Structure 1
Amino acid sequence: MTASPGRGLLHLAAAVDLTDTYHPEPYAELVRLAERGALDFVTLGDSFARPGPDALAVLAHVAPLTARVGLVPTVTTTHTEPFHVQAAVASLDWVSRGRAGWRPEVSPGEGEARLFGRREAAHAHHLWQEATEVAEVSRRLWDSWEDDAEIRSVATGRFVDRAKLHHVDFQGASFSVKGPSIVPRPPQGHPVIVVDATDPAARDTAARHAEVALIRAVGPEQSEELGDELRAAAAAHGRDPDGLRVLAALTVDLGEGERAAEPGHGGGGPRPSPRGPLYRGGPVDLADLLAAWHGRGTVDGFHLTPLEPRRDLERLVNGTVPLLQHRALFRTFYPGSTLREHLGLARPANRYAPTGVPS
């Protein structure tokens, strides 16, 4: 397997999901903790199937309270307008000064469809095809403003150069969008697209558009197989596979202290569970596990979901991260200011600008 240029240091991300929590401050506290550990980004889940605050709105509130860590909310593409989705994600990138990503998700349930009443529930495969189109039109709309389209001239009274705004004229299977966007091109050009590729129906979306793909594996062999499959599919769609970061997704329970290492794993995992691969043990053995997987070149990093958010994220940041830093496997500070810089991803050229190339 050929290692990608992004594999010098491993990438780390963490979920900051909280149960029955609607006030933004507890989320801000977790995000600030993740930033203290120099994590690449945090994710916040969302779903029409359960009550809870809007993930994108929560992270927009948190953005001015933080400075460097990436912010990646789940955004459901089913039952929502693609034009509004891209505008909201672009706004998060502006509010965070270039630290936004988004994780497309679908809503296949009958109960979710009844909330909106506009159409029947559909099969996940069809909904992920729609999500693929939402990702595509979002990228086009982010390019619909050239980077220097804003003039803001008080003397002439001109705010924008209309010659540098572009209609995208997108026609998909279930929607069409003319454009241009109502939000100027985001600071990153395109906010980072993160796709959970666990569901086979989501893997084509990941191969076509994801810059970060999350996979669930209980060992390095399985993670290597899934990662190679995604990179090959990305190449088949004409993408440079080195532009895709593959992160192994693990749930971590750091509440039981260190355990004697088990062959090939360390600590008490990962093992299959209803929540996906679960590591149970202490911060030291977790560092050993992450280092071993990354050292084999099977993944670019890890997305960790704390079983107990406050406890486990604190033990991750104060225990596991310093050990990885001591081994020169993880950064000790943020060398850049945007999520793309954290991930080693280039800023996309604008497809509509005269000097741009298709992205």
Structure 2
Amino acid sequence: MPENRQLHFNLFLMGVGHHEAAWRHPRTDPAEAGSIAHFQRLAQQAEAASFDSVFLADGVEARSDGGWGLISHFEPFTLLTALAVVTERIGLIGTVSTGFSEPYNLARQFASLDHISHGRAGWNIVTSAGERSAQNFSRTANQEHAVRYERAAEFLDVVTALWDSWEDGALVLDRASGRFADAARVHDIDHVGKHFQVRGPLNIPRSPQGHPLLVQAGSSASGKAFAARWAEAVFTAQQTLEEGQAFYADLKRQAATAGRDPGHVKILPGIVPVIGSTEAEARRLDQELDELINPDRAVGVLSTVLGVDLTDHPLDEPLPPLPPVAEINGAKSRFELIRDLAERDRLTLRQLVGRLGGGRGHQVVTGTPEQIADHIERWFGQGAADGFNIMPPVLPGGLTDFTEQVLPILRRRGLFRDGYTGRTLREHYGLPRPAGRYAAA
């Protein structure tokens, strides 16, 4: 690895914190989850700390009880546009599913966001695993796992072709001659495939980044193969250093096999930093949050994730036998992570929902600022991460703790920059701007 590597940090924005019970804790105001100003302040705070990007997860379903499954009040494009106008440098990444979108609309939306933000847009590509999601789109059940990734691959072929359908410089705007665009540099894509038929071209010129940054978060075998082909940043979840190292090495190897530069695939595990001035103080905050978890609701969420009804299972017993992962049509990698966590640490159902309450399977690191910095440096230096997806347990306080207490330590160690060196999201991640498929011609 290059000796002058610098950490990449993405701020994962979620309501008033990533802990399931954050909204019940006195350090938060749950009403802020519905406030644009709240998210604008968080984005500005992250930008002041030189974070590479902020990120919005999204789903197209809500739990029937109106509970934890409500990820956000806002859909990503609306909120990210509101963040774009109050920031100048930080990247803006949003989740949109290939399962419930059309390539033309999505390509146009992300190109628009890239223009509005002057080159700061990124797309987190998901295939959507939930049955409830499918039932909101005139389907009784979701597509099979393999079909979802097959559709996603064709979706990316279409979207990237549309982003390239206008060459750089095709927009002429010559008022004297009346020549608006160079028609020879605007191309139909004439895509006819199994899932999509799209003529093109896109009805917006090529955006500042050429292609908005492509991000991916699935860690199943299909997800990793897809990431190796397309992803430029990968948000992932591993519980141990050894698991992180194995994932990191495997994905970089697959990217090289796919003919890509492995250095152009940035791997950012999720981390929930629970920070205190002493270790005891940090553990006290962690315990306070865990004690606010509603076990019935948490078990309901876990049942949905695993695809196994646990609502009548005793809280103080281990999980019942789970089906083989091959039979799971949902999020296979998250299923395996939770199963392995429960088996490795011999957790009861009550203990498991407590462990998952902090970060839904992402690593929760509790300690002093120095201990958090040590953990980050260890993963970064020992081949498990290029940076981290920061998931504060409470917001905005958890972000303030991280930016004011942990980042200065990492800067003193020479691991994180003092300020931005570029203006676009691709420049922040050290990635090239795609030339476009018609550039050579």
Q: What is the letter of the counterpart of residue 8 of structure 1? A: R
Q: Is the 8 A contact 2:249 2:383 kept in 1?
A: no
Matched, 1:189 2:199: no
Aligned-partner SS, 1:66: coil
Q: Is the 8 A contact 1:136 1:209 kept in 2?
A: no
Aligned partner (choices 73, 92, 107) of residue 128 of structure 2: 107
Q: Is the 8 A contact 1:56 1:74 kept in 2?
A: no
Q: Is the 8 A contact 1:89 1:101 kept in 2?
A: yes
How far is 1:119 from its partner?
7.1
Aligned partner (choices 257, 264, 278) of residue 258 of structure 1: 278
Distance between the aligned counterparts of 2:96 and 2:278, measured in 1? 37
Distance between the aligned counterparts of 1:312 and 1:259, measured in 2? 15
Q: How does 1:138-153 map to 2 (within 5 A)?
A: 138-153=159-174
Between 172-181 and 332-341, the greater mean CA deviation after superposition: 172-181
Q: Is the 8 A contact 1:7 1:300 kept in 2?
A: no
Distance between the aligned counterparts of 1:92 and 1:248, measured in 2? 26
Q: Is the 8 A contact 1:145 1:180 kept in 2?
A: yes
Who is 1:284 aligned against? 370
- Runs of 4+ more than 6 Å apart: none
Q: What is the letter of the counterpart of residue 5 of structure 2? A: G
Between 314-323 and 17-26, the greater mean CA deviation after superposition: 17-26
RMSD: 2.2
Q: What is the letter of the counterpart of residue 278 of structure 2? A: E
Who is 2:36 aligned against? 24
Q: What is the letter of the counterpart of residue 291 of structure 1? A: E
Deviations 1:105-142 (A, max 9, x none): 12333322222216742123321222222222211111
Who is 1:9 aligned against? 6
Between 314-323 and 133-142, the greater mean CA deviation after superposition: 133-142
Which is bigger in relative contact order (C-alpha 8 A, separation at least 6)?
A: 2
How far is 1:211 from its partner?
0.3
Distance between the aligned counterparts of 1:30 and 1:198, measured in 2? 28
Deviations 1:129-171 (A, max 9, x none): 2222222221111111001000111112221111101122223
Who is 1:264 aligned against? none
Give the count of matched residue pairs: 343
TM-score (normalised: structure 2): 0.73
TM-score (normalised: structure 1): 0.89
Q: Pick closer, same or farther for the CA change 1:200–1:310 going to 2, 3 Å.
A: farther
Aligned partner (choices 183, 189, 194) of residue 173 of structure 1: 194
Unaligned runs of 5+ in 2: 17-30, 63-69, 281-285, 288-337, 342-354
Unaligned runs of 5+ in 1: 261-266
Distance between the aligned counterparts of 1:55 and 1:13, measured in 2? 16
Q: Which has the larger radius of gyration?
A: 2
Q: Pick closer, same or farther for the CA change 1:331–1:89 going to 2, 3 Å.
A: same
Who is 1:94 aligned against? 115
How far is 1:326 from its partner?
1.2
Q: Percent identity?
A: 35
Who is 2:319 aligned against? none
Who is 2:95 aligned against? 74
Who is 1:348 aligned against? 434
Matched, 1:317 2:337: no
Aligned-partner SS, 2:110: helix
Distance between the aligned counterparts of 1:258 and 1:132, measured in 2? 48
Distance between the aligned counterparts of 2:51 and 2:125, measured in 1? 21
Distance between the aligned counterparts of 1:120 and 1:216, measured in 2? 26
Distance between the aligned counterparts of 1:258 and 1:46, measured in 2? 35
